[in-house]
Structure 1
Amino acid sequence: MEIDYSAVKVIGFDADDTLWVNETYFREAEETFASLLDGFETKNKIDQELFKMEMKNLELYGYGIKGFMLSMVESALELSNNTVSQATITELLNLGKKMISHPVELLEGVKEVLDGLRDKYRLIVLTKGDLLDQERKIERSGLSKYFHHIEVLSDKKEENYLNLLSHLEINVKEFLMIGNSLKSDVLPLLNIGAQAVHVPFHTTWKHEEVTVEDNDFKYLKIKKLSDILKHL
C-alpha cells in the first residue's frame, strides 16, 4: 500500500521499543516476581494479579518502572496475605532499581534512520512514562542530538497529541508518528488527522494490545525501523 508522505514536515518517534529495548526487561522482571511468590500462588494467578494491580494503580502512579515497582510490592503483600518476607520485598525493590539502571540497548537501524532523516525533517521524540527515567534513557542513548524536541507525556491519547502539536505549532496534516504500539502511537494520530507508521516489537505489554482490521485505518506497517527510509 502506497501512502503519500509528501506533506510531512515533522516526524515523531516513540522511544521505548521503537528506539531502544524496554518491554523485554519488564517481562523478565515479571518472571522473577512470579518465582519469588511461587510459594503463595500459581504463576498464572501471580501474573494475572500483578497486571490487575498495575491497572488499578495506573491512574495514580502513571507509566514507568517506579509504578511497576510499587505494584509488585503491593501485589506481593496481597498474594501473601501480608506474610511475604522483608527479604523478598527488598529483592523486589532491587529488581526495580536494576531495571532503572539498565544500559540503553538501541534497536537495529536506529542511528541509520535518524542520520537519514535529520536533514529532511524536523525530528521529535514523543514518549510516555516516568519523566526522570525517560530523561536518563535519552541521555544514555546518545540520541538527543538528533531531535528538535523531546516530550515525555503522561499518556498518549488524542487530546495529549493535539495539545502538544498545538503547543509546538505543528500542523497535524504535516505530522507523522512512528512507533511500536497501535494503541498509543498509531490509532490516536490517525483519529486526529495525522499519519502514522507501525513498527511492531516482538513483545507487547498486555495493556497496549488492540485488535484492528487492516482495512479500518490507512497506515504503513513495517518490519523494522530502517524500512521507513524506503518510503520517505
Structure 2
Amino acid sequence: MKAKTIGQVAKSSGVSERTLRYYEELGILMPERTAAGYRVYREADERRLAQIMAMRRCGLPLTTIGHLVKNPAADIHAALVAHLRTLRAQGKSVEAATKRTLAALESLERIQGMKPQDAFEQLKREGLEGFEREYGQEARERYGDAAIEQANQRMMALTKDEWDAKELLEESIKVQLRLAMATGDPASAESNELARMHERWIAIHWGSGYEKEAYLGLVRGYLADPRFTAYYDDACGEGATEFLVKAVEAYQG
C-alpha cells in the first residue's frame, strides 16, 4: 500500500491534521519522517488510527488509549469489554439513583409539616418497610424471624446522628470497594480496610455478638440471590460483590 501524507490521511479518515499532529505529540500515532521532515503514514499507521478512532468513539480517555497502543502486550478487545461493563454498571447506577431520588421526593411530601423527630422516625420506618418488601421473605427464611426483628429494633433505636453515620458508612464502603477492586487483590491493604468497614456496618445491624462463621455465611449469602449481588455490582461494577466476599474471607482468615 502506498504511503500517504498527513493531508491524505486527514481526508480519508475525517480526522483533522491538527488532531493527527496532537496524537503524534502524545506518542500514540508516530508516522515516519522523510529526509525533508515530511510525515509519511503507512498502512500500520492507518490501522492504529482506526483503533484510536474506535476507542475515542466509545468514550475511552486518551491516557488509556495511549497505554493500550503503546503496550504490545495490551489487549484492546479486553479493555473495550471491560469499558462496556463499566458503562452498563454506570447505567444501572443511574437508574437505581433515579428510583431512590423519586422515593425520597415521595417521602419528603409525606413528612411535610411533621416535627423533626417525628419525620425522622417516619423515614426510618419507611426504610425498614422498603427492605422488608424487597428482601424480607428471603432474609427471614435465611436468618429467621427473630434475627430480623432484632435488627429492625436496632435500626429504630438509632438516633439521627447514628443513622446518618450508618448511611455515610454504607456509601463509604462502596467507595472503598472500588479502590480495593483497583488493586485486584482481595488481601491488599485497601481490601483489608474494606473488610473492616463492612464488619462495622454489619455490627450496626446485627450487633457485635455474632459468630465468625455466621458472619461469613451472611456475606457469602450475597452471591446466592441476584438482588443482593446487584446491590454492589450496580454501584461498583460487575464482580464487585464477589470481590467483597473474597476480601472479607481473606481478612477473616
Q: What band does the TM-score fall into relative to the shorter chain?
A: under 0.3
Greater helix content: 2
TM-score scaled by structure 1? 0.26
Q: Which has the higher contact order (CA 8 A, sep 6+)?
A: 1
Q: Which one has a bigger Cα radius of gyration?
A: 2
Greater strand content: 1
